[in-house]
Every structure is written in C-alpha cells, then in structure tokens.
Amino acid sequence: MAGSSATGGFPTPVLGPLTRLGYLVGLLGLLGFLAQEVLGFLGAEVRLRPPSLGLEVLGFALLGYYLSQWLHLVADGVWPDHDLKRLRRPR
C-alpha cells in the first residue's frame, strides 16, 4: 500500500482513518441539520447540538480510533507504518 500521489505522498494508514472521520462528522452534521429543519417545519422546536467534550476526551477517542484501525490492518497482514519508513531522511 503506497502513499497516494493525490495526497502528496502522505501515508494512507494515517490519512485514510482521518478522511473517514471527516466524512462521518460531515454526514452526521448534515443529518442533524436536516432532522432539525424537518422537525421545525412540523412545529417541534428542537435544538440539536454536539456534546461539549474536553480536549483530553477527544484526544483519547482519536487515539483509540487510530489504534483500532492499525490493529485491523495488522490482523489483515498489512504492517501500517511501512510507508513511514520512506519518509525518513537517509543518513
């Protein structure tokens, strides 16, 4: 699994999970907005807001997500950091 030229060579084990998280956040935001608008049209006054989580909680959640993604790659027989070796400068 080589780094994509579309990402400027950024390793896909790092960019892939981040992209999926972005899509998920965008999709949930769109669904929340649509639900709020439909309920407002029907006469229900609803305010949907994301929960306010601390930076530490978000950091641990992101770390856990990346760990699960990398363990999944290892279980599939792919070592996830093999592209990172290519980014190191030769000595």
Task: Report domain extents, the chain.
Answer: 11-79
- Rounded mean pLDDT, 24-38: 92
* Alpha-carbon gap, residue 6 to 19, rounded angstroms: 13
Examine the pLDDT at 34 and tell me if it is beyond 90: yes
pLDDT band at 3; cut points 50, 70, 90 = very low
Percent of the chain topping pLDDT 70: 74
Question: Given 3-state DSSP classes, what are the helix, strand and coil percentages for the chain, each rounded to the nearest 5?
Answer: 65, 0, 35
**Whole-model pTM above 0.75?**
no
Percent of the chain topping pLDDT 90: 22
Given a contact cutoff of 8 angstroms between Cβ atoms, the answer to whether 81 and 12 are in contact is no
Q: How confident is the model over 52-88, as pLDDT tens digits?
A: 888 899 889 889 988 888 888 788 887 766 555 555 5
Other CB atoms within a 10 A radius of the CB of residue 31 amount to 11
